[in-house]
Amino acid sequence: MKKISFVWAFLALVMSVSAFGAAPKKKINVGFSQIGAESAWRIADTESIISEAKKRPNIELKFSDAQQKQENQIKVIRSFIAQKVDVIGFTPVVETGYEPVLREAKKAKIPVIIIDRTVDVKDTSLWVTHIGSDMVEEGRKVAKFMIAKGWKGNIAEMVGTVGSSAAIDRRQGFMEIVKNHPELKVVLSKSGNFTRSEGKKVMETFLKDKGKNINILYAHNDDMAIGAIQAIEEYGLRPGVDIKIISCDGIHDAFQAMIEGKLNCTVECNPLLGPQFFDAVEDLKAGKKLPKETITKESIFPMEVAKDIMPTRKY
Ligand code: GYE
């Protein structure tokens, strides 16, 4: 009896000493400012960030949704600075206007990681690393696809959020190639703000303006293309046949539309950036040097492969 209680006492001592020794490690406080929830892509991106944070016990995430407003982002980044978070992550809704707040973060010695869209600042030391897609290349892929398929005629371009790098770059890459192809002519160009509902409205105005003279629709994201498909059907034309359609992202509903023959192609853009983001956060805190830029590898999916590929899609 005596011996047993001695063993217990010894065990209790060992446990209390080790509890002391292994003082709980300080968590890494991360503030993340997301753009909003404008598209299925964005929702998948948010899900990836939040679920990845939950998997990592050493991460404490403060997630904030800016509801598409730059001023909300600037405000929340300022509050992250005031709270002295360890790392700030954010996806800029537009390219410009963040310089002052980024300077404040730098002054407070809080590193900034940029995810997905980029910022246009002269002093690139204001952010540590960028993880996202090459959207100029995505625009080029769209143009190359049209040329490879022998598409010809009048193009309606549905632009993403005005001033966002996603819209600027997808247009730039596209125009770079199309300008040397007189058989492809952009006759309409208007922003649908990356949403389904605005995509539908913009397509209605396109159809009112040019009707059957539109041969091709290039939508900067799948959600706008899906909105446009509805408008085209309501107008009495066949999306994917009377008007060829190509868009960017590769969301589940785009694959569904391709299977139904209403969308001709989607250029992939990967939103599942959570794991890479938190790897970068941890590397940074471990003192590792990060590459200035990490570009996501992406593919392009024409409608012919949609049925086979669909079950493998993760967003
Ligand atoms: O294509 C769109 C989203 O920035 C790449 O933003 C992202 C774009 C994406 O709303 O669906």
How many distinct structural domains can be found in the chain? 2
Is residue 7, in this structure, part of any structural domain at all?
Answer: no
Same domain (yes/no): 158, 205: yes
CATH of the domain at 84: 3.40.50.2300
- Centroid of ligand 1 to alpha carbon of 27 (angstroms): 31
Q: Is residue 241 part of a domain?
A: yes
The response to whether residue 221 sits with its C-beta less than 6 Å from ligand 1 reads yes
Residues 141 and 265 in one domain: yes
Percent over 70 (pLDDT), the chain: 92
State whether 208 and 186 are in the same domain: yes
The verdict on 149 and 61 lying in the same domain is: no
Residues 38 and 51 in one domain: yes
pLDDT given for residue 23 in this prediction: 59
* Residue 62 resides in a domain: yes
170 CB within 6 A, ligand 1: no
Point out the ligand 1 atom lying closest to the alpha carbon of residue 222: 11
Q: How confident is the model at residue 3 (pLDDT cuts 50, 70, 90)?
A: low
pLDDT digits (tens, 9 = 90+) for 183-193: 999 999 999 99
At 102, the amino acid letter reads: L
The first and second tokens of residue 61, run together, are: 């995430």
Q: 117 CB less than 6 Å from ligand 1?
A: yes
pLDDT digits 0-9 by tens, 50-67:
999 999 999 999 999 999
Same-domain check for residues 167 and 98: no
Domain that holds residue 210: 135-269
Per-residue pLDDT band for 25 (boundaries 50, 70, 90) equals confident
Q: Is residue 307 part of a domain?
A: no
pLDDT for 22 equals 57
Q: Which of 221, 222, 267, 270 to mutate to test the pocket of ligand 1 (most atoms within 8 A of CB)?
A: 221
Q: Is the pLDDT of residue 238 over 70?
A: yes
Q: Is 104 a domain residue?
A: yes
Does residue 277 share a domain with residue 200? no
CA angle 59, 63, 64 (to 5 degrees): 160
pLDDT given at position 248: 99
Nearest to 183 by CA among 242, 143, 239: 143
- How many H helices and E strands in the chain? 11, 12
For residue 10, report the distance from its CA to the centre of ligand 1, in Å.
60
* pLDDT bracket for residue 5 (50, 70, 90): low
Q: Give the per-residue pLDDT at 80.
A: 98
Shared domain for 124 and 199, answered yes or no, is: no
The C-alpha atoms of residue 6 and residue 202 are separated, in whole angstroms, by: 80
Please tell me whether residues 57 and 179 are part of one structural domain.
no
Asked if residue 186 and residue 75 are part of one domain, the reply reads no
Q: Please give the helix or strand (H or E) that residue 254 lies within, else none.
A: helix 252-259
- This prediction has a pTM of 0.92
Name which residue sits closest to atom 1 of ligand 1, judged by CA: 221
